[in-house]
Structure 1
Amino acid sequence: MAINNTLTISVNDSLTDDNEEINILVCNCNSRGSCQWTDTLRGGSESYGLVPCDCMEAYDGAECMDDADGCADDPCFTNCTDVPAPGLGYTCAPCPAHLTGNGTSCLDRDECEEGTDNCAQNCTNVVNSFNCSCHAGFMVDSSNSSNCVNVNECTMNPNICAAGGSAAVCLDTEGSYMCACKPGYKMDGAGVCVDIPDCNNRTICDNTTSVCQETPGSYRCDCKTGYSRKPGSSSNSSCVNTNECTGAKPVCSSGSRCVDSEGSFSCICLPGYIRRSKEVCTPNVTSCAKINCTAERSV
């Protein structure tokens, strides 16, 4: 601020004494500063000087009449607001959302460390932000980059369990998968699915009426001779006795009578017939020869 002070001095000297030089120092700091008498600013005359002011912190200017601009040195990270005198200093705007600090100094926030991220699994801090990633066996959700969804390895790689053989199947699990075997198979020490020998279980079929036969991944109970299943029954249902004597085709020859038994039958020869085989009876012609049956003797 320009200072325009005029000082007029009128001296009448009626004596013949030597002249005295008068030095004038002016200080106009008022109550907002203190005069610095040892640091005089000389004007155009050596006899006149302006004493500078040491202003209070909130004020500025030659006479401490101005508000000191607290933001002059740009002390804030973003926006600075001066505090009007007689208040002191300045206030800084808060740090941006992605930064942390007191407004004067703002540093990158580690959202991962703070726990303010929204990552479902892995969080990696980067400048001004963070990145989300997923554990092995998961992938980033296409509809929500902070979320992770399970990877179905069985669908993505249909041959992932091929080492287990044709009976191996892939089972998807949360974040992983496992290779298992189809029913009727088990995994050996080398990770290959081998057929379970069901027939080693001697009670799996009725040994009296059937015989156990291995099939790929399973078994069946075949009926023994003389036993059968009712039409439409499953391959492992119980076998029941077959009544051969009531079949559409005779099992015994003429001259005999069929007698059914459990799991079998027998042909009983009628009188005058002799057995030729299990199912065949023929006329006993030798009995007539022994008694010489002739037409003459029979009269």
Structure 2
Amino acid sequence: LLHQVCKSGVCVNNIPGYTCYCSSGFIYHHTLLECVDVDECEQEDSCPGGLCVNTVGSYFCTCHPPLVLDHSQLRCVLPECAVRPFCVPPEEGVSLCWQQVSADLVCQSPLGRRQVSFQECCCLYGEGWGLQCALCPGTDTGRRPSSAEDCGILGGCENGRCIRVEEGYTCDCHHGYQLDMASMTCRDINECEEGGPASECVNARCVNTDGSYRCICWRGHRTRRDPWTRPNRTRDEWHP
């Protein structure tokens, strides 16, 4: 019976109940009663500056040129930082400047290894800025630019509102999102992080969602109108 409630894990019998220990990269699923893979790529801080690829029990990162993996193999940095374990992170508000943007909106030809502000890049050197290829405002070519070009940010401030500022453009993010200065995009806030508002998920598991979160009650509990759960025989979930 113990193996049926702790599949792929190590079950330790307690009095009363039991404890299921899962291997690194796995977490116990109270509904399936087994250890399931953790998708590390769902975490906001996975592979900063690069692309996260989830694998069974682990994950790995890939980088877009000219960036390379640092000594930890979990972060994309400029080549000179790859051989310096304690390389100082780039100044907030500056990033790579791309001198060309292809027809399918792929940034090309970086301005050497120099990092500049969004305004300096778009006014003096290039057509795109940052690791996420934020588009510079379109020039007066006789055609009306798209909302993304007019805002100067790839995606046109998705999950936010584009506003003009003295330095150029920025995003006023919707509730549940915060501005990422490195990419000038509105990123989802992970309320399930320790100390976040999802600490209200008492006797429940917090699940982060796009712009919000929800609480899924542990087995033997059900939801109340108040932000906590109470014992019962049903499983339920509530949303903030």
TM exceeds 0.5? no
- After TM superposition, the score normalised by the length of structure 1 is 0.23
Larger fraction in strand: 2
Which gives a bigger RCO, structure 1 or 2 (Cα 8 Å, sep 6+)?
2
